[in-house]
Structure 1
Amino acid sequence: MNSDIPAPLLDFSYRADLDILVSRWAYQPDPHELPAAYRQMCEAAVRDQARFWLQDIRRRTLNDPGTTNWLLNKFFPEMANRLGGRLYIAYLVGPALHESIVSHPGYVSAEAYDDKPFATSFFNDEGAAIRWLQIQQTDKVRT
């Protein structure tokens, strides 16, 4: 095996039984890798008409502020529009990254997204993240 070939950044799978697009990040990406990764995510979501996403970012160690701003102000609203309904993103994070995210001065809780075309929430337990997405699915008729 050639060690010069990087591992894929993202692994996607659509869980039809749960109606959830699962994306697992393999490593902490350089910010220049993110646009292509999010294009892949967009293609997968549109293909499967998936508005409920589980993003496993436990292998990531930091959030790029520029990317976060772009996600919240451009990518997520555009994806909700493309998918024809509210987008829900559950982030599965490791303890250090979770602490970094929630202690950041710009952190916004899930309730603050009530008037947005998307909602995000952070979890350190995959079962809790999936349960949150399933609860949101019960409301998908309204949104």
Structure 2
Amino acid sequence: MDSNTPAQLLQLAYRADLDLLVGRWTHEPNTSLLPAAYRELAREAGASRCRYWLQDIRRRVVNDPATTRWLLTDYFPDMARRLGGLRVAYLTSPTLLAHIMADPEFKTVEYYTDKPYQIHFFGDEGAAVAWLFEF
């Protein structure tokens, strides 16, 4: 199977026991595949009505600034409206996290305080899941 299809790029699993949607990105994507992968993520989130997402991006090495802007201005606000709120924990490698944080447009967790969606980055999966359900 072609690894450049959205289904191979992003493996999704809904954990009903935790009401958690886990997305594991399998490799660094061609940016042209991202819209279809995010449509699949939206479809799965809508089907399960899940607003808690763990996105494992440890196998990725760069972050596309145009995609990040689109996520923050369009995708996440839309998903938050559709789901009644949204919390996304990104599980990253140290190298990718440094790259993301070095971007001049990087938003800290405090930026999201008054937003209907919240995003945070982690190097530890347990800490990421704990944050998702922290109130």
- Judge same fold: TM > 0.5, yes or no: yes
Partner of 2:50: 50
The amino acid of 1:42's aligned partner reads: A
Partner of 2:65: 65
Identity of aligned residues (%): 50
User: Is 1:125 aligned to 2:121, yes or no?
Assistant: no
Partner of 1:96: 95
Q: Is the deviation greater in 101-110 or in 122-131?
A: 101-110
The amino acid of 2:3's aligned partner reads: P
Q: How many residues get paired?
A: 132
Partner of 1:41: 41
CA deviation vs aligned residue, 1:6-61 (integer Å, no higher than 9, x gap): 26001101111111100000001011000000000000000000100000000000
- Secondary structure at the counterpart of residue 54 of structure 2: strand
Q: Which runs of 5+ in 1 are unaligned?
A: none
- Secondary structure at the counterpart of residue 78 of structure 1: helix
CA deviation vs aligned residue, 1:45-78 (integer Å, no higher than 9, x gap): 0000010000000000011000000000000000
2-side partners of 1:111 and 1:23: how far apart? 24
User: Is 1:116 aligned to 2:119, yes or no?
Assistant: no
Which entry has the higher C-alpha Rg, 1 or 2?
1
The amino acid of 1:43's aligned partner reads: R
CA-based RMSD? 1.1
2-side partners of 1:22 and 1:128: how far apart? 14
2-side partners of 1:123 and 1:47: how far apart? 26
1-side partners of 2:20 and 2:3: how far apart? 27
Partner of 1:105: 104
Q: Which runs of 5+ in 2 are unaligned?
A: none
User: In the TM superposition, what are the counterparts of 1:17-28 in structure 2 within 5 Å?
Assistant: 17-28=17-28
Provide runs of 4+ in structure 1 moved above 6 Å: none
